[in-house]
Chains A and B, each alone.
Chain A
Amino acid sequence: MRVALFITCFNDTLFPETGKAAVGLLERVGCDVEFPLEQTCCGQMHANSGYGEDALPLVRRFVDVFEGHDAVVSPSGSCVAMVREQYAALAKEAGDAELLRRVEALGPRVFELTQFLADELGVEDVGATFPHRVTYHPACHALRALGIGDAPLRLLRNVAGIDLVELPQAETCCGFGGTFAVKNADTSAAMLTDKLRAVLDTGAEVVCSADNSCLLHVGGGLSRQRAGVRAMHVAEILASR
């Protein structure tokens, strides 16, 4: 199956390891991965910060780049939720019926990586080995806006050697929220503190998620505290052998 990788600007620039892991995983399960180099940013930061006008050209660009592909897969639940849940509203707001038609045709073919593996391809055991104690933080957009359910957990449970422990209050937001972490830095920090306490209480060596944006925040907090706990994208665990 031919699959286009939508890496996201964030992962492209800051988390190349996640992209490499995603490519490795998709190839392992028999996909033929393409990476359209014209891709940049889906426009989520602009759209969520109040700059819908600046987001609109990025919506058009995304559709131009990806609409020729049968399946588009991304290691970010948040950016996939942007494409699936917000593109139509932006096209409507702009009064662009043609764009609306195109985003509605493309949206259902854009998948979050773990959802694509577990639900679309039906692969729950990717043959990974990761002999560590791990806890999983469900990123809000993947969980609520996208509804990926327990796809990441089903994949993680099949990893050889893993000691998967439940995160208390797992579904509570970590406090990242994009520009929220900057504009409401104190509230964001208070939310982060509670999330870090929950992570540390599990005794895990690794906290993972299907979104590196949360992990930039959670990992940044753990690193500042010298907590000795690593933040890792689920894809990187699943790619380990």
Chain B
Amino acid sequence: MTPSARPFPEAAREALADPQLRRNLRKATTHIRNRRAVVVGERDDWQELREAGRRIKAQAVRHLDRHLEDLERSVTARGGTVHWARDAAEANAIVARITREAGSREVIKVKSLATDEIGLNDALAGHGIAAIETDLAELIVQLAEDRPSHILVPAIHLNRMEIAEVFRRHLPGEGELPSDPQLLAAAARRFLRAKFLSVGVGVSGANFAAADTGTVCVVESEGNGRMCTTLPDVLITVMGIEKVVPRFADLEVMLQLLPRSSTGERMNPYTSLWTGVREADGPRAFHLVLLDNGRTHALADEVGRDALHCIRCSACLNVCPVYERTGGHAYGATYPGPIGAILAPQLAGLGDHADLPWASSLCGACYEVCPVKIDIPAILVHLRRRVVAEGGEGHGRLDPERAAMAVLGRVFRNRRRYETAQKAARLGAWPLSKDGRIERRLPGPLAGWTAVRDLKAPPAQTFRDWWRASGRSGRDGDR
């Protein structure tokens, strides 16, 4: 669930001061980043694959209405039931009702961002239903009453010592557990196995759903997800409407792009595909909840809508220099990192998370690795413009930044004003500077800069003064 977000700069400052977090993040992101680079590097056709992936998602999103109706028909024809949810409250109510009707007080869950986004676990708890996360990292985060901080690796902010402490405290009978990874996994297995064999309702998200066949696809590493999609009598899948792909054959491209980009594997260990229900195999009832929850807001933005192409691989998080230092919690949203900075505000109709488009240096590393070529820097800049134009997030009419930008805009529109401003900058800096630099800490907007850096003072002669004095002025293009 989206917690009430603190401004990013403030949350980031706190995260930056945590040396354990910095070390955990650096270690984990560097590791995944390097693995990705190796397996992507071995494909000569990687750029063609990316382009194919981009086209599939662009087509899916452009004709979303048609593909969703196709998907509904296909799923229904194979014995499934399709539900449409406008927002989180509707989706949560649907899942709670189905669970109650199945006579269950518990659900076992496949790792799913869509259900994090709608705060399903808390909503179910309100109905007296316990949701048990079965993805190892999600379980750790759930037991610790913490929040996921990464799309793929929800507990990336914790190391194994910290995880052992969580297990010792929260898993029954594991009070003496050492911090050995194998023993930690075994403890989780003991706890989860009992749940797999007893709980009657499974809840999943979806990586893809093929409109032509009605097939839902979930990829994972542990096999715990497959337990949830095959053992219970009732399976409920909550998927964002943008997860539909037109054809089953599109998975051929997507299943090559996703594991290489996310875990840095050529192929992920478990790919589960199911189509409706079958007698004497798997769940007897299958419910597909199609979730909007702000996606149609994003769809209405011709530039921003490309964020809906995201396949949640998290490659952009792992290469992002901002994410690597602040971690995911600083973003205050279900979707952190570069993709979160363009997706979270759009899902909220720019009403929330409107400072996230500025949580980027626009270095472009995210765009370079995105498997479906989402131009994240361009969308960040576009959203900054929208937020400023709509007067949100401290960009009201009387905002000092807006006033300063307007003044500078006027200065740059006129050569004489520009040259006067150059002189003024030099004169303004002169009393503050020594040996060509400003070493003291300045107040106001430059406080952050001068806290850790000297500021170069404008030298006595501008370039254009030199040019005019150099005898070249006859060739200055002043026609």
- Residue numbers of A with Cβ under 8 A of B are 4, 7, 9, 11-16, 19-20, 23, 32-38, 40-41, 43, 45-55, 57-58, 61, 69, 86, 89, 93, 140-141, 143-145, 171-173, 175-193, 216-217, 219-221, 223-224
Which of B326, B414, B458, B477 has a CB less than 8 Å from the CB of A35? B477
Chain B residue nearest in CB terms to A22:
B463
Identify 16 new A-B residue pairs, CB closer than 8 A, beyond the known A13-B458, A186-B12: A7-B464, A12-B464, A14-B458, A14-B459, A33-B472, A50-B387, A50-B395, A55-B409, A57-B409, A93-B385, A145-B364, A181-B448, A184-B12, A184-B359, A187-B359, A221-B452
Separation of A191 and B361 alpha carbons in the complex (Å) = 10
Is B405 touching A46 in the complex (CB atoms < 8 A)? yes
Interface residues of B, CB < 8 Å — how many?
71
Task: Tell me, in angstroms, the Cα distance from A37 to B357 when the chains sit together.
Answer: 35
Contact of B368 among A144, A186, A192, A219 (CB under 8 A): A144
Contact A51 B415 (CB under 8 A): no
Q: For chain A, what secondary structure do more than half of its interface residues adopt (helix, strand, loop), or is it mixed?
A: helix
Which listed residue (A140, A171, A216) contacts B361, Cβ 8 A? A140
Contacts of B477 in A (CB 8 A): 4, 34-38, 69
- Cβ distance B330 to chain A, nearest Cβ, rounded Å: 8
A35-B476, A43-B412 known; A176 and B461 CB under 8 Å? no
Query: Which chain B residues lie closer than 8 Å to A54 at the CB level?
Result: 405-406, 408-409
A64 to chain B, nearest CB (A): 11
**Complex Cα spacing A73 to B468, Å:** 19
B8 at the interface (CB under 8 A from A): yes
- Whether A36 lies near B463 (C-beta < 8 A) is no
Query: Provided the pairs A9-B412, A37-B476, A220-B455 are in contact, do residues A190 and B325 lie with their beta carbons within 8 angstroms?
Result: yes
CA distance A6 to B186 in the complex (A): 64
Contact A13–B405 (Cβ < 8 Å)? no
Contact: A144 with B367, CB < 8 Å?
yes
7 A-B pairs with CB atoms under 8 Å apart are A16-B462, A46-B409, A52-B389, A183-B448, A187-B326, A192-B453, A224-B439
Q: Chain B residues near A93 (CB, 8 Å)? A: 385
Please report the C-alpha to C-alpha distance between residue A33 and residue B463 in the assembled complex, in whole angstroms: 14
B405-462 residues with Cβ-Cβ distance < 8 A to A are 405-406, 408-409, 411-415, 418, 422, 425, 437, 439, 445-449, 451-456, 458-459, 461-462
- CB <8 Å contact, B384 and A182: no
Is B16 close to A, CB under 8 A? Answer: yes
Partner of A183, one of B358, B365, B467: B358
B412 & A217 in contact (Cβ 8 Å cutoff): no
Do B321 and A57 touch (CB < 8 A)? no
CB distance from B388 to the nearest CB of A (A): 4
Nearest B-chain residue to A215, judged by Cβ: B456
Cβ A33 vs Cβ B475 within 8 A = yes
Question: B422: shortest Cβ distance to chain A, in Å?
Answer: 5
- With beta carbons under 8 angstroms apart, the residue of A51, A179, A217, A219 that contacts B409 is A51
Residues of B within 8 A of A23 (CB): 467, 472
Flag whether B322 is at the interface (Cβ < 8 A): yes
A178–B418 alpha-carbon span in the complex (Å): 20
Interchain CA distance A47-B477 in the complex, whole Å: 27
- CB of B365 within 8 A of CB of A144, answer yes
Contact B456 A14 (CB under 8 A): yes
CB pair B453 A221 closer than 8 Å? yes
B378 located at the interface, meaning its Cβ lies under 8 Å from any Cβ of chain A in the complex: yes
Contact B478 A36 (CB under 8 A): yes
Per-position contact with A for B362-401: 1 when CB-CB < 8 Å, else 0? 1111011000000001100100110111000001000001
Give Cα A226–Cα B454 distance, bound, in whole angstroms. Answer: 10
* A11 B463 Cβ-Cβ under 8 A: yes
Q: Is there an interface contact between A189 and B321, defined as CB atoms closer than 8 Å?
A: no
Ranked 3 nearest A-B pairs via Cβ? A185-B448, A177-B361, A220-B453
Using Cβ atoms and an 8 Å threshold, which residues of chain A touch B413? Answer: 40, 57-58, 61
Task: Please determine whether B475 and A47 come into contact, CB atoms closer than 8 angstroms.
Answer: no
Q: Which of B359, B408, B425, B468 contacts A45 (CB 8 A)?
A: B408
Cβ of B466 under 8 Å from chain A: yes
What chain A residues lie within 8 Å of B365 (beta carbons)?
140, 144, 171-173
Say yes or no for B13: interface residue by CB 8 A criterion. Answer: yes
Whether a CB of chain A sits under 8 angstroms from the CB of B104 is no
